[in-house]
Structure 1
């Protein structure tokens, strides 16, 4: 596989990770743009206030966190129920920074 193919795959992973509001929220909460959250937020801290918590946990644990962990954007500790930045978080952090910096110009809800 050449460097161009690897770069394209990394960009595709980034867009896939950011395509879900739930995943964007997790990634944003792990960013420097959100200092009020510690470096390892719990699943409860990640949940939006207006959500059905049981449904949210099920969706996060079975869909969104595994996808982010597969891409190495997060480390999900299911025993402690905390999320930390993964070894490849830097790949998505660049795009998050662009989104945060241009939030007012973007259509719809960002997080």
Structure 2
């Protein structure tokens, strides 16, 4: 019995998409930019204790990674983030997640 695997599974562009969506903070950044772009970096920071470590991770991991994938443009001087030249590549996945979130099983994925 032969199994048919969709071509999208083999597409190397999907590796970029899943790398971008790998962490909660990156998913939040991308969803926020989908709603409104550009945004100030402060929009991505929690308003609670521990924000300093979050800001460090944001500036040294999440933003550089999303910028290297070309999903965002990061203007360090203005502390501003906007949609990058490849944002249209990830936007369909963001829309898919947004539009079908209620179809996922309860408590999925398992914590």
Structure 1 length normalisation: TM-score? 0.79
SS at match of 1:102: helix
Shift of 1:103: 1.7
Shift of 1:77: 0.8
Superposed CA RMSD: 2.0
Structure 2 length normalisation: TM-score? 0.79
Residue 30 of structure 2 corresponds to which residue in structure 1? 27
Shift in CA distance, 76/52, structure 1 to aligned 2, threshold 3 Å: same
SS at match of 2:81: strand
Q: Which has the larger radius of gyration?
A: 2
Structure 2 counterpart of 1:47, from 26, 45, 48: 45
Residue 3 of structure 2 corresponds to which residue in structure 1? none
* Consecutive unaligned residues in structure 1, runs of 5 or more: none
Shift in CA distance, 57/95, structure 1 to aligned 2, threshold 3 Å: same
Shift of 1:104: 2.2
Runs of 4+ in 1 over 4 A off after TM superposition: none
Listed as ranges, the matches of 1:16-95 within 5 Å are 16-31=19-34, 34=35, 38-50=36-48, 52-95=50-93
SS at match of 1:48: coil
